[in-house]
Structure 1
Amino acid sequence: MQVWRVHENGEPGEVMRLEEADTPTPGEGQLLLKVRAANINFPDALLCRGQYQIRPPLPFTPGVEICGETEDGRRVIANPALPHGGFAEYALADEAALLPAPDALDDAEAAALHIGYQTGWFGLHRRAHLQAGETLLVHAAAGGVGSAAVQLGKAAGARVIGVVGGADKVRVADELGCDVVIDRRTDDVIAAVKDATGGRGADVIYDPVGGDAYKQSTKVVAFEGRILVVGFASGAIPAPALNHALVKNYAIVGLHWGLYNTKDPASIRACHDELTRLAAEGVVKPLISERVPLKDAAAAVQRVADGVTTGRLAVIPEGARA
């Protein structure tokens, strides 16, 4: 089979190599899946760089989110078991963690309903307790993680402010349904948020960026607001001033979605059932901005790493339909 492998850590476009290899053999509790679509996530870039919290042995295949097909023909969503990731014609996954792919979505969309949307749902509902009528601010609102949070926020009845970088991303965020869109490249984010909220600020702030985005969040969080820390795509991990959180009376809330797999696995399936319902009703629909052939996966991962994409990029092996 064709498979991308990383033999040394570095930038994805430099260290990912397309190779021919034997189809992997499932271990105990695993299944072999034919990859129908593998979506690119920022953690794939971090895996290549050796900067992710999980460091699989070299060589490994990145690709942490797929829609695949079992040997008995079931269409499923999975997080592949590294080192046999999703940027290949076949991947391995733990059988107990497989989820049925929603009929309302194609393969690329179904794969994208997993990590980003589960992160958004757990973050907004389980951790930040977003309420209808509240104001939700989403950083990187046109990206894969941010676009999911925008749709889920609207589904929850929130007023959504999207912060993006560039005119193209402004258009995407507007099409996603943001009530207000702020271009951080041309607008004063802090002033714009205060203007949009009458000076009150945002009740919940969804931050997958860190760095300057987090600093802006502390300036525009409302009384009893919640800053939801989802990731650090900027590469800069902020050091919160806890005295500021005390004085302004806001909460800093962390989310590590992967922990639910071990601490409360039943909640993953319950969340998936809810997301499947929302997809069937047309309330959420993952934004797939591009479908690329397997041979172009390394360049596509690099573009995600560089922050120049919108929505999700999906890698489609030859012969698969997505």
Structure 2
Amino acid sequence: MKAYVVNQWLKGPEDLTLSTNVPVPEPKEGELQIQVKAVGLNFFDTLMIQGRYQIKPPFPFIPGGEFAGIVLKSTVADFKAGDRVFGSAASFAEVITAPYRNVLPMPSSFTFEQAAGLYITYPTSYAGLVLRANLKAGEYCLIHAAAGGVGIAAVQIAKALGATVIATAGSKEKLEVAKKFGADFAINYRDENWTAQVKKVTNGHGADVVYDPVGLIEESTKCTAWNGRLLVIGFAKGQIEKLPLNRLLLKNISAVGLHWGAYTKNEPERIPEVWKALFDLFESGKLNPALYENIYSLATLPRGLEAINARESYAKVVARFDQHDSKI
């Protein structure tokens, strides 16, 4: 089969090479063998192949984190051959194996492309906004990088929860994307006075919740409301911030982090709770996965990662692994 196999740390996606004679993996007990139809691409995929991610798999390894596909073989009663599923596993390959606990049935109305980007982005945003930040209806929610994968998910979830959403992004085109998916206000965070703009659209109140996958927490304290909650999702800018704690003190601000992957070890009971809430929102139509206009293929997958790294993309970047009707 075809797969991307990493044998040493790479400079970037441009160094990924597609191998054509990789053995097809067989599922062990508790695993599924899955034909991959589409994969979701993430910023951390590049960090992984560079050896810069917190998880460093032994060589050789197949990168990738999200997928959607069809079960070929199952070793558990919960799934059978032919089931349409999505989940998380080393996914940049035509056929993969995955622990059944990392796999979920696809929402019935979704295409493989839509489902491929669900497993990490949507629970990350939901758990952050609900479990950690306790976002309430009527509050102002400031979402940075609102046109990105987790950002678009956060915009939709915040709107579904009844919040007023203030989206930031670095270009007019990305701000339009955020507004298309529900943002009430759109502000370019490259503007020198963007924090003043946030205060203006909130009538001086400020943001009750700040959702930040970029690294804009320190600046955001200038426009955070009394009793505001700062939600640390990631550091796409590449630098880990240092926060003046006196700013937290003066406004009663809370700063909390969200590591969705760690719930498996620390609070596994919250995982089904989050997914039930998300599936209810999927079925109601309140959440509709947003995809980047360029759908990549297995062969052009590295270009998708390059688009993410260059901040050229918006919404969720995916690669489709065949040319057939994605709904089959």
Does the 8 Å CA contact 1:7/1:15 hold for their aligned counterparts? Answer: no
1:247, distance to aligned residue in structure 2 (A): 2.1
Q: Which residue of 1 aligns with 2:299?
A: 295
Give the paired residue count.
Answer: 316
Q: Which residue of 2 aligns with 1:264?
A: 267
Q: Which residue of 2 aligns with 1:138?
A: 143
Residues 181 and 264 of structure 1: CA distance in aligned 2, closer, same or farther (over 3 Å): same
2:18 corresponds to which letter in structure 1? L
2:315 counterpart of 1:311: yes
2:307 corresponds to which letter in structure 1? R
Q: State the secondary structure of the residue aligned to 2:242.
A: coil
- Provide the identity percentage: 39
Q: Which residue of 2 aligns with 1:16?
A: 16
Counterparts in 2 of 1:106-145, with a 5 A limit? 106-145=111-150
Work out the CA distance in 2 between the residues paired with 1:205 and 1:215: 11
2:231 counterpart of 1:231: no
Work out the CA distance in 2 between the residues paired with 1:127 and 1:201: 19
Work out the CA distance in 2 between the residues paired with 1:171 and 1:96: 37
Q: Which residue of 2 aligns with 1:193?
A: 198
Contiguous gaps of at least 5 residues in structure 1 = none
Q: State the secondary structure of the residue aligned to 2:299.
A: helix
Q: Which residue of 1 aligns with 2:65?
A: 64
1:277, distance to aligned residue in structure 2 (A): 1.6
Does the 8 Å CA contact 1:36/1:321 hold for their aligned counterparts? Answer: no
Q: Which residue of 1 aligns with 2:78?
A: none
Q: State the secondary structure of the residue aligned to 2:47.
A: helix
1:3 corresponds to which letter in structure 2? A
Q: Which residue of 1 aligns with 2:186?
A: 181
1:89, distance to aligned residue in structure 2 (A): 0.5
Q: State the secondary structure of the residue aligned to 1:131.
A: coil
Q: Which residue of 1 aligns with 2:45?
A: 44
1:137-157 C-alpha deviation (Å, 9 max, x unpaired): 000000001000000000000
Work out the CA distance in 2 between the residues paired with 1:11 and 1:154: 39
Q: Which residue of 1 aligns with 2:170?
A: 165
Work out the CA distance in 1 between the residues paired with 2:171 and 2:150: 17
Please report the TM-score for the alignment, with normalisation by the length of structure 1. Answer: 0.94
2:102 counterpart of 1:93: no
1:320, distance to aligned residue in structure 2 (A): 5.3
2:273 corresponds to which letter in structure 1? A
Contiguous gaps of at least 5 residues in structure 2 = 73-80
1:223 corresponds to which letter in structure 2? W
